[in-house]
Amino acid sequence: MRPLTRIAASTCALTLAAAGLIIGAGSAPAFAATCSQSRLPLPDASCTPGAYNPDVTQSTIGSTICVSGWTATVRPPTSYTNPLKAQGIIDYGYADTAMSSYEEDHLVPLELGGAPRDPGNLWPEPYAGTKTATTKDGVETKLKNAVCKGTITLSAARSAIRNNWTTALSVTGIG
């Protein structure tokens, strides 16, 4: 499903769930998967290509991502992200349909100026597995710290995490 249609589809999914028409957690997904799990722990690039916040540039990092607490000012509420997560679980065809098993994650993290509300930058990242959502969080922080120290550019950090967060530290020379 295209990212822009995920919002409408997730609203429909929530309406059906409220009406009791979608099978509960632990059951097989009610719809066919449209996004591939073959690249896990990475998202399917056709469903989650990533997107940048235009307000965050190399020249604005001192007033945006490098300010403690800045991400809280742009983080969308769960009332926005939970419907996307519910639809994403269906789109990815995850057998485990429990919302608590996933983090609705920004492929390009808010810490690096990822687009907060762009459905193409959000996906349901599993907590289970060898490289998990919590592992990615550490990579994001190390990259942001390096950008704010001037060790690497914002562009290099964004590109590395967007292409493959599991190799982003080595690609950028951070470690």
Burial label, 70 (beta-carbon count in 10 A; 0-12, 13-18, 19+) = middle
Residue 148, token pair as written in the block: 């704010």
Residue 134 has a pLDDT of: 81
pLDDT tens figures, 70-114: 999 999 999 999 999 999 999 999 999 999 999 999 999 999 999
Bond preceding residue 41 cis, omega within 30 of 0: yes
Q: What is the pLDDT of residue 32?
A: 64
Q: DSSP secondary structure string, 133-164?
A: HHHHHHHHHHHHHHHHHTSS-HHHHHHHHHHH
In sequence order, what are the beta bridge partners of 126?
102
Phi and psi, residue 26, nearest 5°: 95, -15
pLDDT value of position 31: 53
Parts of the chain with a pLDDT under 50: 1-30
What is the pLDDT, as a whole number, of residue 14? Answer: 41
Distance CA 113, CA 165 (A): 15
Domain coordinates of the chain in residue numbers?
Answer: 3-15+47-172
